[in-house]
């Protein structure tokens, strides 16, 4: 190869490398910041399951450094208190408990209402009246399941012999084996139980139409230092919630995959949840009042003080 030809070839190769490298850096977003997320290991976190599967966070310039899939509020509270988790999704009950324990978090967004159900062994429990004198299992005081059990007692004039606490996976195992007859669980555990011969006796939407579900929380110090990251996460989560309302097919597949349940179970669970991104201060305040009246929290909060409005 002549010197001039060799030089031309080298120039062309270098030019190609520069073009390809430039395209890579142009397409790759410059990260706005890092965030560690905590999400419930259930269908309440459906928007996050889909966002994680399709790399939406990275595509929008968010570097998710860690995802904690928690099964109990205690797990989440400990991780947030340590600073391992700075933002995420959780039901209002666990968020309120964290605040009551002095963990500095704020509510910045909302994902849904409801999302729970009363599950029974149909051979022994055929009606609400049959619940009298029976023990009921929930994931623990402070959870929405626990508050729903209290409300069912008040609303339907029922008296459970005891409200027992146990992690949701263990409650599901007890229902399936027959050792537990009555329980309140978050979606999709009721649908999994139903697929194993148990019965959903009462949906949370029937007993408590205005029941708050899960919200997006963030550590106050993280919000102060990273407002743009918080805004971006809120924006893409809310967009995903609205997409689920229009067409849940992709969300159903992602949730089934992430939770290890069937498509039919994921579909029933997702379609029974009331997806809603509008924060209602009165709804939160009513929940706080109820929790305080039942002595589940030590302090009586003004709901406004727990919510931080993040402008998009």
**CATH number, domain containing residue 295:** 3.40.190.10
- Tell me the pLDDT band of 18, cut-offs 50, 70 and 90: very low
- Tell me the pLDDT band of 73, cut-offs 50, 70 and 90: confident
| Shared-domain flag, residues 225 and 297 | yes
Residue-averaged pLDDT of the chain: 91
**Of 295, 281, 286, 284, whose CA–CA distance to 92 is shortest?**
284
| Shared-domain flag, residues 236 and 296 | yes
- Within a domain: 23: no
pTM (predicted TM-score) = 0.88
Asked, as a colleague might, if the bond just before 188 is cis with ω within 30 of 0, I would say: yes
| Shared-domain flag, residues 107 and 121 | no
Separation CA 74–CA 69 (nearest Å): 12
- Within a domain: 8: no
pLDDT above 70 coverage of the chain, percent = 89
- Within a domain: 231: yes
| Shared-domain flag, residues 220 and 165 | no
Single out the residue in 146, 177, 207 at which a domain terminates.
207
- Within a domain: 271: yes
- Within a domain: 11: no
94-106 pLDDT tens trace: 999 999 999 999 9
| Shared-domain flag, residues 123 and 198 | yes
pLDDT score of 32 more than 90: no
| Shared-domain flag, residues 108 and 125 | no
Q: Report the pLDDT averaged over residues 275-290.
A: 96
Token pair of 124 as six digits: 């022994």
pLDDT at residue 26 in the model: 41
Residue entry with tokens 């949370």: 204
- Within a domain: 18: no
Domain region containing 137: 116-207
Single out the residue in 160, 183, 207 at which a domain terminates.
207
Single out the residue in 207, 233, 253 at which a domain terminates.
207
pLDDT score of 194 more than 90: yes
| Shared-domain flag, residues 222 and 275 | yes
pLDDT at residue 22 in the model: 44
| Shared-domain flag, residues 76 and 137 | no
| Shared-domain flag, residues 125 and 177 | yes
pLDDT score of 23 more than 80: no
- Within a domain: 252: yes
| Shared-domain flag, residues 201 and 216 | no
- Tell me the pLDDT band of 5, cut-offs 50, 70 and 90: low
| Shared-domain flag, residues 100 and 132 | no
Buried b / exposed e along 209-220 (16+ C-beta atoms within 10 A)? eebbbbbbbbbe
| Shared-domain flag, residues 102 and 120 | no
pLDDT score of 222 more than 80: yes
Assess contact for 251 and 49: CB atoms under 8 A.
yes
- Within a domain: 26: no
pLDDT at residue 204 in the model: 97
pLDDT score of 8 more than 80: no
The total number of structural domains in the chain stands at 2
Residue entry with tokens 């589940």: 296
What would the DSSP string read from start to end of 121-135?
-TTT--SGGGGTT-E
């Amino acid at each position: 190869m002549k010197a001039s030809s060799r030089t031309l070839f080298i120039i062309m190769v270098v030019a190609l490398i520069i073009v390809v490298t430039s395209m890579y850096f142009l397409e790759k977003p410059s990260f706005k910041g890092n965030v560690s997320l905590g999400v419930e290991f259930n269908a309440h976190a459906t928007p996050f399951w889909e966002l994680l599967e399709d790399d939406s966070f990275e595509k929008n310039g968010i570097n998710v450094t860690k995802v904690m899939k928690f099964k109990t509020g205690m797990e989440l509270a400990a991780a947030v208190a340590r600073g391992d988790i700075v933002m995420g999704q959780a039901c209002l009950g666990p968020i309120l408990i964290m605040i009551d324990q002095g963990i500095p978090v704020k509510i910045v967004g909302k994902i849904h209402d409801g999302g729970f159900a009363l599950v029974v062994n149909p051979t022994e429990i055929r009606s609400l009246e049959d619940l009298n004198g029976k023990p009921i299992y929930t994931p623990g005081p402070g959870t929405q399941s626990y508050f729903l059990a209290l409300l069912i007692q008040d609303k339907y004039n029922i008296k459970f012999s005891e409200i027992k606490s146990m992690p949701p996976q263990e409650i599901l195992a007890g229902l399936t084996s027959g050792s537990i007859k009555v329980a309140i669980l978050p979606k999709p555990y009721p649908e999994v139980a139903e697929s194993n011969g148990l019965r959903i006796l009462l949906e949370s939407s029937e007993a408590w139409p205005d029941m708050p579900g899960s919200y997006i929380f963030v550590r106050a110090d993280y919000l102060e230092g990273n407002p743009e990251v918080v805004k971006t996460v809120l924006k893409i989560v809310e967009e995903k919630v609205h997409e689920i309302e229009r067409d849940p097919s992709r969300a159903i597949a992602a949730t089934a995959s992430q939770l290890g349940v069937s498509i039919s179970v994921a579909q029933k669970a997702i379609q029974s949840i009331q997806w809603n991104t509008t924060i209602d201060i009165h709804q939160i305040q009513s929940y706080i009042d109820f929790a305080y009246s039942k002595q589940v929290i030590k302090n009586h909060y003004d709901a406004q003080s727990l919510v931080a409005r993040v402008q998009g």
